[in-house]
Amino acid sequence: MRRSVMSQSARVAGTVVRSGAELLVTGGVVVLLFAVYLVVWSDVQTAAAQVDLRDDFESQVEAAASTPSSNVPAEPAKVAPPRGSGIAVMRIPRLGDDWSWVVVEGVSDEQLARGPGHFPETAQPGQVGNFGVAGHRATHGEPFAHIDRVRKGDTVVVEAVGDTYTYVVDRTEIVAPTAVDILLPVPGKPAARARKARLTIVTCHPRWGSSERLIVHGHLVETRSGSEA
């Protein structure tokens, strides 16, 4: 009886409220799924991309090793590797013995989603100039999540095709996102001519933000031929 006397407007209001509630719950579920995508799924995809990159890099190392030495030019080829290829394996002992990332050529969103990326305009590993690398500090495997633990004197080992380079950290600093001059061959000095081989790591700061950039500066101290694998 009561249901039949319930006014039509009350029924409409009930439908509106229920639909609104369903929309809000749906929105909440979508936001939760997005969080899962960022925190879990992006890591999974980057790990898979790293496996591919490592295969790519190791096949390059094998190809270089199997080439007769007479065909190998005295200087490593200066041609830029194709974007998206694995150019080197980076290790930072301070971040753990199992911390090992294949550096990809290029710093587009797509390339950085696969691993730390080499700024194509900067020097190749071990070359005189500035080997610039950017990497995620949150999501996508977060290679540089704990780069703030790196201290002066720590080593960064970069195994490129043919040679393994050891850089030592000089200093870290926090700069504005527009401070592109830290990637110059001599950081901060556009007119200077580089005589040293440097390393510059760029990541975001604070870790889950983007208002600044955390920079690690280093320079080359040792070059060994061959890869230590």
Q: How far apart are CA 128 and CA 164, in angstroms?
A: 15
Closer residue to another protein in complex, CB, 111/166: 111
Minimum CB distance to another protein, residue 159 (Å): 23
Would you call 206 helix, strand, or coil by DSSP?
coil
Regarding 109 and contact with another protein (CB under 8 A), the answer is yes
Closer residue to another protein in complex, CB, 61/213: 213
Interface with another protein (CB under 8 A), residue total: 47
Regarding 188 and contact with another protein (CB under 8 A), the answer is no
Minimum CB distance to another protein, residue 139 (Å): 5
> Which token pair is 88?
């080197």
Q: How far apart are CA 160 and CA 134, in angstroms?
A: 17
Q: How far apart are CA 226 and CA 229, in angstroms?
A: 9
Burial status of residue 3 (CB atoms within 10 A of its CB: 0-12, 13-18, 19 or more)? exposed
Regarding 81 and contact with another protein (CB under 8 A), the answer is no
Are 4 and 11 within 8 A, CB to CB? no
Q: Which of 165, 203, 217, 220 binds another protein (CB under 8 A)?
A: 203
Going by their DSSP bridges, the two strands 197-205 and 212-225 should be labelled as antiparallel
Regarding 107 and contact with another protein (CB under 8 A), the answer is yes
Regarding 177 and contact with another protein (CB under 8 A), the answer is yes
Regarding 87 and contact with another protein (CB under 8 A), the answer is no
The one segment of 49-57, 62-70, 93-101, 109-117 that binds another protein by CB under 8 A: 109-117
Would you call 9 helix, strand, or coil by DSSP?
helix
Q: Which of 6, 51, 128, 180 binds another protein (CB under 8 A)?
A: 180
Closest by Cα among 130, 167, 162 to 57:
162
Regarding 223 and contact with another protein (CB under 8 A), the answer is no
Count the neighbouring beta carbons within 10 Å of the beta carbon of residue 171.
10
Print the binding letters for residues 40-59 with another protein: x by CB under 8 A, - otherwise. Answer: -xx-----------------
CA atoms in the 13 A half-sphere facing the CB of 229: 6
The one segment of 54-62, 107-115, 166-174, 221-229 that binds another protein by CB under 8 A: 107-115
**Cα-to-chain-centroid distance, residue 229:** 21
The one segment of 87-95, 96-104, 133-141, 219-227 that binds another protein by CB under 8 A: 133-141
Residue 203: which H helix or E strand, with range?
strand 197-205
- Contact residues toward another protein (CB under 8 A) are 18-19, 22-23, 30, 33-34, 37-38, 41-42, 83, 106-109, 112, 117, 119-122, 132, 134-140, 177-184, 190, 202-204, 208-211, 213
